Chain A
Amino acid sequence: MTSSYIGQPLNRVDGRAKVTGEAKYAAEYNVHGLAHGFIVSSTIARGRIVRIDSGRAASVPGVLRVFTHENREHLPSYDRDDEHSFLPLRDAKIHFSGQPIALVVAETSELARYAASLVQVEYSHEPHVMDLNTRRGEAYDPKEDEDSASSTKDRGDAQSAFTHAAVRHEAEYTHPCEHHNPMEMHATTAAWHGDGKITAYEKTQGAPRSQKYLMKVFGFKKDEVRVIASYVGGAFGSGLRAEHQLFLSVLAARELARSVRVTLTRQQMFTIGYRPWSIQRLKLGAGADGALHAIGHDALTNTSRLEDYTENDVGWSAALYNCPNIKRSYKVAQIDCYTPADMRAPGGATGMYAIESAMDELAYAAGIDPLELRLKNYSEKDLNEDKPFSSKQLRECFRQGAQRFGWAKRNPAPRSMREGNELIGWGMATGIWEAMRLKASARAVLTYDGKLDVASATTDIGTGTYTIMTQIAADTLGLRIADVTFRLGDSTLPPAPIQGGSFTAASVGPAVKAACDAVREKLFKLARNVPDSGLANAKIEDVAFVDGRIALARDPSLGVTIVGAMRYGNLKQIEEVAKAELAEDLEKRYAMYVHSAIFAEVRVDADFGSVRVARVVNAVAAGRILNPKTARSQVLGGVVMGIGMALHEETLADHDLGRFMTHNFADYHIPVNADVQDIDVIFVDERDDIINPLGVKGVGEIGIVGTAAAIANAVFHATGKRVRDLPITLDKVFT
């Protein structure tokens, strides 16, 4: 494959649609006869609805129906008690504050919202617990624990090695609940077609997954329900599961035989999944030279009473550090909240915050430079399962990152750098994330006019999927970008996994390439038959597809245009569908990870303790970078969210009321423009011939992993104060 586009910093192909407002998101399909639904949320955390009176709401002119658990249609799925068992309006039981307990549907959104305020509810309360700290005694090994099955395997004798280690560090690290808060609020426009069929314009990270959900919950046949998510206004994990609005809009549309839209309010965005609280205990034992002898990592995260949410907090140390004795545990405890959800680098962002903070403390305890300590313990294989890496250029990340940052000039003593009234601190950390690949499929259709249409039911939540898939397709067939269209976000397209886990490029990319390769082979066969093409005796590896032509690589004057070959073969179009996945034996033989080195400079006000992040250098090794422009944006975004995690983000709970109280953008602070200064992203060269034919890993999550630790470590360097409880707010810095 010739690379005219792959590796180039192309502008987003969907950029124009986004800067002109033409891109349509879930709540923006104003279909004919649309009605508007507004969710009534519970005001208690645990108990039962004793009485729900929707009479006043229903009497408002323009209100079509008020759905409650008492009058909604009975679905067989209400009787099932399976995975993801929470379904709104199942019964009178209240599981969490903010639980949807009614849906008011009206002719306009304002009427629905107003009428919702008239629904009167009486509850019987049961005692609730929302504070994970008070539930430590009730922690248990989670039931469904795929995430941490291999990551909690013991190695050697960590307790004994820790006891005898020359240098020891032990501490507890905590971080609070965080909410994804994509800018687009979750919404579904359920378009009713009059024949029982529905098209759901849905905010989701996977149209096929939402379709399966609707089939399972409502009993739709596959051709009766279509899910479309052409544009998704951010998600970061919040769109992995079907949220309340999908269920409620479709429920209402079926009963009213009308199109219905349900949008969550920003406040209701705090009633869906979130990054759980975690409490992590780290024990590191090392020799005087800094060589790790023992790693202990015990994590506790909260889950709900509905199901066990788990994430891989503790699996990372054995993939990163060469240590003979490792002991880890992962437990969950139930609180009266909705179930947590994966949020950007679930487990990685949080686990690596604790590990890399502890490594910094160990470096100080041993009197070794923090970067030296990482190099000293550099792992050449993944000790979780004793597997070699498919590729690992982390050393180069350290080298290039440190050089760009100027790490060598660092005075290790805390409070040793100051400018005016600002204490300056430099900190670093390592990042790691799995380079996963899942089965995906794609279809490529080349028409006689030389235009290529490629499609897959994947998603673009802002990652750049539209663009990189267009690049891959264009390069495979030697077409101009302008002649290639890539479509996604539609459950009728060839199946692809949800967009998550940073695996889209590595999963869908090879499927797109395979579909285009199949078209390429057909074209080549046609081209060979064209008289005077000069290709009659050529093999496919002898030719190049460039500028719409199929030509001999050694003599490009010999060949034929794609359009010419199709005309000769009298073909209107060539259509190919292909699937691609990682060979099972490769998965068994190799460990596959993305790595990064993060260097951060903070400035701390000497009087107030307010922290700002002046600059960050993040050096990433993620295999081949398909588009340095969109990939850089992914890492930038991860770093910005990491700044939020380190300094700002915290969903505060009122434990008495069992409710989140910072449920808006004034109280839940996400980084704003003024919080973000210089961020430098480096992609180091990393060749990986194992993971997939494109050599691509994925960059959606690596940017946030390690960032909070680098900032926390820099705050210590600036102030001498070690804050082990995120976010690092000024009250914690100088108390």
Chain B
Amino acid sequence: MNEPAPRALTTLASKTAITLTLNGSDTQLEVEPWTTLLDLLRERLDMTGTKKGCDHGQCGACTVLVNGKRVLSCLTLAIMQDGAAITTIEGLCTGDTLHAMQQAFIEHDALQCGYCTPGQICSAVALIAEGKARTRDDIRELMSGNLCRCGAYPNIIAAIEQVMQRAEQQSR
């Protein structure tokens, strides 16, 4: 026993330089090839607003926006996002002003423990941008990749509907 561990997997020095536009700021980083976008955010950059709920792409807690699209950051290797624009929950506010979706989540009590909340909000923002949801059932279906064990679903729907309706009114 005590044979050495496979070298390729353990060489700490094999880092690659990438640039991410992270919440609007160009950020130069050196990442190991196995580092997920989620672990990069949470453990290297101390941006813990993005949550880890399963690490298997099954719960949606890690949802962030990559070039405006919702992506599961636990299933995304950081090294593959070179040049991408990443928006996390920390980047949704404008100064002290909350994003309309964040405000709607507070008003409708669309959260309890708050752990799935950043992922829900990022997912909801992208859902509206996708423009596919027409009915309440559509929203339910298209938000079903974001689990909430506290069971805030009816309030999450109410919050999203409010933001959608206001967006529609403004675009008229």
Q: Is the CB of A28 within 8 A of B1?
A: no
Report the minimum CB–CB distance from B152 to chain A (whole Å). Answer: 6
Q: Is the CB of B151 within 8 A of A22?
A: no
Q: At the interface, yes or no: A450 with Cβ under 8 Å from chain B?
A: no
Q: Is the CB of B51 within 8 A of A233?
A: yes
A56 to B151, CA, bound (A): 44
**Which of B32-40, B65-73, B162-170 binds A?**
B32-40
Q: Is the CB of B115 within 8 A of A234?
A: yes
The chain A residue with its CB closest to the CB of B47 is A21
Q: Is the CB of A636 within 8 A of B98?
A: no
Q: Is the CB of B107 within 8 A of A11?
A: yes
Q: Is the CB of A184 within 8 A of B51?
A: yes
List A617-676 residues whose CB lies under 8 Å from chain B.
Answer: 629-630, 632-634, 636-641, 664-666, 670-676
A114: contacting residue among B9, B58, B59, B118, CB under 8 A: B9
Q: Mark B13-57, 1 if CB is under 8 A from A, else 0.
A: 000000000000000000010110001001100111111111110
**Which of A59-67, A215-223, A478-486 binds B?**
A59-67
Q: Is the CB of B114 within 8 A of A462?
A: yes
**CB-defined contacts of A676 to chain B, threshold 8 Å:** 140, 151, 153-154
Report the minimum CB–CB distance from A197 to chain B (whole Å). Answer: 23
The chain B residue with its CB closest to the CB of A665 is B58
Q: Is the CB of A20 within 8 A of B150?
A: no
Q: At the interface, yes or no: A532 with Cβ under 8 Å from chain B?
A: no
Q: Is the CB of B5 within 8 A of A12?
A: no
B98: contacting residue among A14, A19, A55, A463, CB under 8 A: A19
Given contacts A183-B59, A183-B61, list 15 more A-B pairs with CB under 8 A: A19-B105, A19-B111, A21-B48, A22-B49, A24-B48, A60-B5, A180-B149, A183-B115, A183-B116, A461-B113, A462-B112, A632-B109, A637-B151, A640-B153, A673-B156
The chain A residue with its CB closest to the CB of B42 is A28
Q: Mark B108-139, 1 if CB is under 8 A from A, else 0.
A: 01011111111001000000000000000101
Q: At the interface, yes or no: A247 with Cβ under 8 Å from chain B?
A: no
**CB-defined contacts of B4 to chain A, threshold 8 Å:** 56, 59
A183 to B60, CA, bound (A): 10
A639 to B151, CA, bound (A): 8
21 A-B contact pairs sorted by A residue (CB < 8 Å): A14-B114, A19-B118, A20-B49, A25-B115, A28-B48, A59-B4, A59-B5, A109-B39, A110-B34, A111-B10, A183-B115, A183-B147, A184-B53, A231-B114, A233-B116, A263-B52, A266-B54, A463-B112, A633-B112, A637-B112, A637-B151
Q: How many A-B residue pairs have CB under 8 A?
A: 207
A12: contacting residue among B55, B102, B103, B111, CB under 8 A: B111
**CB-defined contacts of B35 to chain A, threshold 8 Å:** 110
Q: At the interface, yes or no: A236 with Cβ under 8 Å from chain B?
A: yes
Q: Is the CB of A232 within 8 A of B113?
A: yes
The chain B residue with its CB closest to the CB of A678 is B154
The chain A residue with its CB closest to the CB of B139 is A673
Q: At the interface, yes or no: A182 with Cβ under 8 Å from chain B?
A: yes
A641 to B121, CA, bound (A): 22
B113: contacting residue among A11, A233, A640, CB under 8 A: A233
Q: Which 4 A-B pairs have the closest CB atoms?
A: A21-B49, A640-B151, A233-B115, A462-B113
Q: At the interface, yes or no: B88 with Cβ under 8 Å from chain A?
A: yes
Interface size on B, residues (CB 8 A): 69
The answer to whether residues A23 and B114 also contact, given A108-B43, A234-B149, A664-B56 and a CB cut-off of 8 A, is: yes
**CB-defined contacts of B58 to chain A, threshold 8 Å:** 266, 664-666
**CB-defined contacts of B102 to chain A, threshold 8 Å:** 19-20
**CB-defined contacts of A674 to chain B, threshold 8 Å:** 137, 140-141, 143-144
Q: At the interface, yes or no: A679 with Cβ under 8 Å from chain B?
A: yes
Q: Is the CB of B98 within 8 A of A673?
A: no
Q: At the interface, yes or no: B82 with Cβ under 8 Å from chain A?
A: no
A61 to B7, CA, bound (A): 10
Report the minimum CB–CB distance from A499 to chain B (whole Å). Answer: 11
A18: contacting residue among B1, B9, B114, CB under 8 A: B114
Q: Is the CB of A673 within 8 A of B151?
A: no
The answer to whether residues A18 and B34 also contact, given A30-B48, A183-B51, A673-B156 and a CB cut-off of 8 A, is: no
A665 to B39, CA, bound (A): 20
Size class of A's contact patch? 35 or more
**CB-defined contacts of B153 to chain A, threshold 8 Å:** 636, 640, 671-673, 676
Q: Is the CB of B113 within 8 A of A673?
A: no
Q: At the interface, yes or no: A265 with Cβ under 8 Å from chain B?
A: yes
Q: Mark A44-64, 1 if CB is under 8 A from B, else 0.
A: 000000000101110111100
Report the minimum CB–CB distance from A463 to chain B (whole Å). Answer: 7
The chain A residue with its CB closest to the CB of B46 is A30
Q: Is the CB of A118 within 8 A of B151?
A: no
Report the minimum CB–CB distance from B94 to chain A (whole Å). Answer: 12
The chain B residue with its CB closest to the CB of A630 is B109
- Between B34, B139, B145, B156, the greatest number of chain A beta carbons within 10 A of the residue's beta carbon is seen for B34
Q: At the interface, yes or no: A436 with Cβ under 8 Å from chain B?
A: no
Q: At the interface, yes or no: A589 with Cβ under 8 Å from chain B?
A: no
Q: Is the CB of A670 within 8 A of B149?
A: yes
**CB-defined contacts of B80 to chain A, threshold 8 Å:** none
**CB-defined contacts of B42 to chain A, threshold 8 Å:** 27-28
**CB-defined contacts of A231 to chain B, threshold 8 Å:** 113-114
A58 to B144, CA, bound (A): 42
**CB-defined contacts of B171 to chain A, threshold 8 Å:** none
Q: Is the CB of B148 within 8 A of A61?
A: no
**CB-defined contacts of A23 to chain B, threshold 8 Å:** 114
**CB-defined contacts of A679 to chain B, threshold 8 Å:** 154
Q: Is the CB of A671 within 8 A of B51?
A: no
**CB-defined contacts of B92 to chain A, threshold 8 Å:** 20
Q: At the interface, yes or no: A16 with Cβ under 8 Å from chain B?
A: yes
Q: Mark A187-209, 1 if CB is under 8 A from B, else 0.
A: 00000000000000000000000
B151: contacting residue among A25, A110, A636, CB under 8 A: A636
**CB-defined contacts of A62 to chain B, threshold 8 Å:** 10, 12
**CB-defined contacts of A182 to chain B, threshold 8 Å:** 113, 115, 149
